[in-house]
Chain A
Amino acid sequence: MKNVRLCTVLFAVLVAVLGLALFPAAAQKTPVLKIGINAEITGDIPKVGEATKYAAQMYVEDVNKAGGIEVGGKKYRLELAIEDNEAKAESAAKAATKLITVDEVIAIVGPQASKQAVPAGEVCNNYKTPMVSAWSTNPNTTKDRPYVFRACFLDDFQGPALSIFASQEYRFKKAAVLYDVASDYPKGLAEFFKKDWEKRNGPGSVVAYESFTTKDTDFSSQLTKIINSGAEFLFTPQYYNEVPLIVQQAKQLGWKKPILGSDSWASDELVKLCGKDCFGHFFVSHYASAGAKGATKEFIDRYKAKYGSIPDDVAALTWDAIGLIGAAIRNAGKLTGDVKKDREAVRNALAQTKDYPGITGTISFPPGSGDPIKCANIVKINDKGEFEFYKSVCP
């Protein structure tokens, strides 16, 4: 008896919930498109999840305020379905599955960190649902997955970007490199840079290619070599805890030329540890808040007014990731209402993205790849120790 009563109650509740859920939707004339957010809202990197959510919500509000997104002469409202992946690989795959099968989203933004983005990308690709990670730089996230894209550039692009910058800005011909041979990221970047620089300036134009191993603190011998090699600048793709030592020792050995770095420099800790010695040097970044112009500045100002903090690179890249999806929906031609077919249409439009004006750079996807071709931002550490946008460099 008890069970029957419980069932009745549950049924009533279900009807009520369904009714509530259905009625407003039915009352509104504009149909709804759902975009999934698979973000690191709890776990090790909650700031990343927060920035993702904030940027995506701001974008959706914008679109809906303007009456929705127009596809094939019909207007659609956007709605977010937000899932927390707890910054765990398993949860990310689960979250993606739920967004695809339960929420029936048309596309997914995130996960952001590669640890989560790689497994979630697998799920999305299997379910043929377009996914755009804003922040993941691991090649495997998009590799052989036609449905997975990203909004940021990859590590291997940073080398050429700096090589172009040094050639164009200073007309330099001779480069020196100092990197950690025992760590993947610096080693890879050093090699990419050397390859591109020698392609541009001929063999032997990297006049000093010096290395050290992780945990080394004294670079005096390498730097003495570099200083006497006649190099016009130094490229050092190291982390923020090593850069201060390198920069200070170089200065004390009489080096007065520019030092260029990679996006691993981009940490508030760098200026804290390095102080004035690092001022005036450059590095590559996805995005810089200080000195931003145009649409980027507008985004920063609005985000700041809305949430009370300056958007970080995750927020800016998420804005571009969801923007890419928005543009793809717009360009999908016509939506059928069958979510599987519509996902296919959005993915095809996404793959054909060309010169999308993102706030982190103009984005295009080359044929057969989810890794964008975009411009890199060169950031200068200014006299106040801020990371200031200096110049955009395009391949």
Chain B
Amino acid sequence: MTVFLQNLVNALQWGSFYALIAIGYSMVYSILMLFNFAHGDVFMTGAYIGCGIAMLLLGLGAAGLLVLPGWLVLGLTILLAMIVTAGLGMFIERVGYRPLREAPRASAAITGLMIGIILETGNLILLGAQRVKFPALIQPVTFELGGVFLTNQKIMIVVVALGLALALHQFIRRTRWGMAMRAMAFDYAVVPLMGVPINRIAALTFALGSGLAAAAGILFGMAYPVLDPYMGIVFGWKSFVAAILGGRGSILGATLAGFLLGFIEIFVAMVFPSTLRDFIAYSIILLILVFRPYGLFGEPYSVRLRL
């Protein structure tokens, strides 16, 4: 039982990252009908940007210029990195996707791949191949609860991830901007005729997705403090799986699918030899998709698929 509960905790933490990244994928996919394959690398860049901001703030603290408590440094780091990475997302949309909006979808898809490679190698040129250590902003405190080990970090990661997902869900449900986004997801061709500025909505979509990816990057850096330029690739793929599994355009769907992915991976490794983890985990997901091709929360859509 403790093993089960322990793995539940493990899976909650692991799923948080998938969830946050999957949301960004899902949003872009539903609103612009394109796969932003650079999203995993935006996550990576967000982690590095967060790392840079954190070191800057810690440096200011060490120099005695701006002494802040650790939790405030973390909060500021997340906020600033989200803003900067949101800017990066908007920039990617402007230079990489907007000129190709009317181009065949395959072109837009490989744009994402190319931007991803540019981000990876750009990072490599800028910082070199050695790994970067993410500074410990809050000291990890381990405590035991009936045989299950928790840390303050784990709790924080899950809470922040769920909080952000919920906030975004509310934003899309309740604000005019959100309404415009939903409308665009519903019918891309008619919406501009209603006076909705689609360029601005597209930029906003990228900004929100990238911001969440940056938050995921920083949380990731807290839990796994060794950053490398290629860490976003596999993460991107798997989160993409979660986005599709969640159902097109469903924020809650992507969140839940992200956690589900985390659970499946962790629990497969618990029951089966760990060598078979991804093999079995992704076979299960394939099976789910066979029975629910629109994802867990997606509805069958007849909107002209511009793929």
Q: Which of B2, B6, B220, B278 sits near A213, CB closer than 8 Å?
A: B278
Which residues of B108-151 have CB atoms within 8 Å of chain A's CB atoms? 130-131, 133, 136, 140, 142, 144, 149, 151
Nearest CB of A to B102, in Å: 37
- Is A74 among interface residues, defined by CB-CB distance under 8 A? no
Q: Chain B contacts of A213 at CB under 8 A?
A: 278
* Minimal Cβ-Cβ distance residue in A for B234: A215
Interface of B is mostly: helix
Instruction: Please tell me which one of the listed residues B13, B149, B225 contacts residue A244 in the complex, with CB atoms under 8 A apart.
Output: B225
Q: Is the CB of B151 within 8 A of A252?
A: yes
Q: Is B283 an interface residue (CB 8 A)?
A: no
B269 in the interface (beta carbon within 8 A): yes
**Could you tell me if B228 and A221 are in contact, using CB atoms closer than 8 angstroms?**
no
The answer to whether B131 touches A273 (Cβ under 8 A) is yes
Q: Is A245's CB under 8 angstroms from B224's CB?
A: yes
> Which residue on A lies nearest to B270, using beta carbons?
A221
Q: Which A265-279 residues sit within 8 Å CB-CB of chain B?
A: 269, 272-273, 275
| Per-position binary interface string of chain A over residues 182-223, scored 1 when its CB falls under 8 Å from any chain B CB and 0 otherwise | 000000000000000000000000000011110101101110
**Is B7 a contact of A220 with CB atoms below 8 Å?**
yes
Contacts of B220 in A (CB 8 A): 217
B193 at interface (Cβ–Cβ under 8 A)?
Answer: no
The contact string, 1 if C-beta is below 8 Å from chain B, for chain A 15-52, is 00000000000000000000000000000000000000
Expressed in whole angstroms, the Cα–Cα distance for A221 and B278 within the complex equals 13
Contact flag A248-B231 (CB < 8 Å), given A220-B14, A253-B149, A273-B131: no
Closest beta carbon of chain A to B6's beta carbon, Å: 5
B302 within 8 A of A: no
With A220-B13, A220-B14, A244-B225 given, is the CB distance from A181 to B275 under 8 Å?
yes
Task: Name the one of B133, B153, B269 contacting A221, with C-beta atoms under 8 angstroms.
Answer: B269
User: For A242, what are the chain B residues with a Cβ–Cβ distance below 8 Å?
Assistant: 226
Give the residues in chain B near A272, CB-CB below 8 Å: 133
Q: Give complex CA distance A251, B141 in Å.
A: 11
Q: Which of B7, B136, B149, B274 has the most CB of A within 10 A?
A: B274
Report yes or no: A221 in contact with B275, Cβ–Cβ below 8 A.
no
In angstroms, how far is the closest chain B Cβ from the Cβ of A206? 13
Contacts A181-B275, A272-B133 hold; do A224 and B3 have CB atoms under 8 A apart? yes
Nearest A-chain residue to B142, judged by Cβ: A252
Return the chain B residue nearest A221 by Cβ: B269
Q: In the bound complex, do residue B131 and residue A221 qualify as a contact, i.e. CB atoms below 8 Å apart?
A: no
Find out whether the CB atom of A221 lies under 8 angstroms from the CB atom of B274: yes
Contact of B265 with A by CB under 8 A: yes
Contact B225 A212 (CB under 8 A): no
Q: Is the Cβ of B10 less than 8 Å from the Cβ of A273?
A: no
Please state if B142 and A273 are interface contacts (CB–CB under 8 Å): no
Complex CA–CA separation, A242 to B233 (angstroms): 17
In the complex, per-residue mask of A122-137: 1 if CB is within 8 Å of any chain B CB, else 0? 0000000000000000
Task: Tell which of B7, B131, B136, B154 touches A269, judged by Cβ atoms closer than 8 Å.
Answer: B131
Which of B3, B6, B231 contacts A217, CB < 8 Å?
A: B231
A348 lies within 8 A of chain B by Cβ = no
Show the binding face of A for B, using Cβ within 8 Å. 181, 210-213, 215, 217-218, 220-222, 224-225, 228, 241-242, 244-245, 248, 251-254, 269, 272-273, 275
12 A–B contacts from the bound complex (CB under 8 Å)? A212-B274, A215-B231, A217-B224, A221-B10, A221-B266, A221-B269, A221-B274, A224-B270, A241-B226, A252-B140, A254-B142, A269-B131
Closest 5 CB pairs of A and B: A220-B10, A221-B269, A254-B149, A217-B224, A221-B266
Taking Cβ atoms with an 8 Å cutoff, the residues of B that contact A are 2-3, 6-7, 10, 13-14, 130-131, 133, 136, 140, 142, 144, 149, 151, 153-154, 220, 224-226, 228, 230-231, 233-234, 265-267, 269-270, 273-275, 277-278
